[in-house]
Amino acid sequence: MLHMRDVWVNWFEGEENGYNVCEFFEWRKEDKIELVDQIAVIKISEALFDYIENTLLELPEELLADVYKQSYVRRKSERVEMEYCFLATDGVRTIIVDTIGYHTPIRKSRMVPRQEEQLFQLISSEPVREYYMDYLDCEKQYHILSPDPLLMKGLVRKERQLKQLLFMALDQLYKEASTAEIRYWYTEWAADKYLEIQQMSFEEAWNELYDEIREGWSKKHEEYCLTMIKGQPFFEKLWEIQTGEGRKVQ
């Protein structure tokens, strides 16, 4: 088993989509960054890497056995074992995982570029470890609360997270709003379609609104999101966390 020492990690917890496990250049000073004293390194297939990066499902039992208590973090002067923590690579991409004692990839992190270069040198001649999983080929289903990566492509961290907040607000609207409310919010987005929108059913209005909003991100998207979440404390808190502009949500 290969190992690396003194690896910096920035844990993103409970993220099922890889685009929410931010690259080093998007790390923030308020993120939970820590130093792993020693970490197990495994080279895996592209398919298994995709599975680990983009799900919160059970990891292969053999993989868990291979990395069991192979990693350590230093807390104060004590060296503490991490039950299932490892650094995985397919030879091109990298991800660090800590299950916090479970059998699923609860916490994930990217790497510091300098250490990533060291990793690629370390594993250059290392063979891929094969782990059998009969459910590895299952195609992941994306939806409004777990958007397709294509909808997040090209967006920076703040934009991705505000877009997900907007999708959360739209999902709530779908579940709770009346036809009149859906028409109102579609008109807020596309005022030039007012007369057309007034003739739409609930499903027609919501589907067309979602179809128009889901592509890209702009100042209009951001302002629309802010308008939608006003008066909703949970959404307002998420906005404040991502923008540092809580006082604007009045």
- Give the span between the Cα atoms of 53 and 109, in whole angstroms: 10
pTM here is 0.89
Across the chain, which has 250 residues, the per-10-residue mean pLDDT values are: 96 95 94 94 95 94 96 88 96 97 96 97 94 75 93 95 96 96 97 96 97 96 96 94 63
How many CA atoms are closer than 13 Å to the CA of 60, on its beta-carbon side? 20
Distance CA 55, CA 191 (A): 39
Instruction: Convert the pLDDT of each residue in 153-183 to its tens digit.
Output: 999 999 999 999 999 999 999 999 999 999 9
**Could you report the per-residue pLDDT of 30-66, keeping only the tens digit for each?**
898 999 999 999 999 999 999 999 999 999 999 999 9
| Chain position carrying tokens 């030879």 | 91
